[in-house]
Amino acid sequence: MNPKTSKALKIILPLLLAVFLVWYSLHKVSFNQLIVFFQEADYRWIVLGMFFGFLSHLSRAYRWLFLLEPLGHKIKFNNSVMAIFSAYLINYTIPRAGEIARATIITNYESVPFEKGFGTIVAERIADLIVMFIIILITLFIQFDFLYGFLIEKFNPIKIVIALLLLIFLGVLFFKYLKKSTSKMALRIKTFVKGLIEGVLSIFKMKKKWAFIFHTLFIWIMYVLMFYVTSFAFKDLGDLPLGAVLVGFIAGSFSIAATNGGIGSYPLAIYAALSIFNIPEEPSIAFGWIMWFAQTLMIIVFGGLSLIYLPIYNRKSDIKNL
Give the range among 3-7, 60-64, 69-73, 309-313 with minimum mean pLDDT. 3-7
How far apart CA 216 and CA 123 sit, in angstroms, is: 12
| Per-residue pLDDT tens digits for 104-157 | 999 999 888 888 888 888 888 888 988 999 998 888 888 766 666 656 665 566
Residue 5 has pLDDT above 70, yes or no: no
- At residue 316, the pLDDT reads 67
In this prediction, residue 97 has a pLDDT band, given cuts at 50, 70 and 90, of confident
Q: What is the DSSP-derived secondary structure letter of residue 206?
A: S
Check pLDDT > 70 for residue 58: yes
Question: According to the model, what pLDDT value does residue 82 have?
Answer: 94
Lowest mean pLDDT among 68-77, 211-220, 296-305: 68-77
In the chain, where the domains are located: 3-121+207-321
* pLDDT classification of 241: cutoffs 50, 70, 90: confident
Is 271 in contact with 280 (CB distance < 8 Å)?
no
13-42, pLDDT tens digit by residue?
A: 666 665 666 665 666 676 777 888 888 888
Please tell me the pTM assigned to this model: 0.80
One-letter amino acid identity for 6? S
Residue/partner pairs of 36-44 with CB below 8 Å, 24 or more apart = 37/234, 37/236, 37/282, 37/283, 37/286, 37/289, 37/290, 38/286, 38/289, 38/290, 40/235, 41/233, 41/234, 41/286, 41/290, 42/232, 42/233, 42/234, 43/233, 44/233
The yes-or-no verdict on residue 255 having pLDDT over 80 is: yes
More confidently predicted of 161 and 48: 48
Closest CA to 292 of 256, 241, 251: 256
What does the pLDDT read at residue 214?
93
For 72-76, 160-164, 166-170, 269-273, which range has the lowest pLDDT when averaged over its residues? Answer: 160-164
pLDDT higher at 191 or 222: 222
Dihedral of alpha carbons 136, 142, 143, 145, sign? positive
The alpha helices in 2-42, defined as continuous H runs, are 3-28, 31-40
What value does the mean pLDDT take over residues 64-76? 86
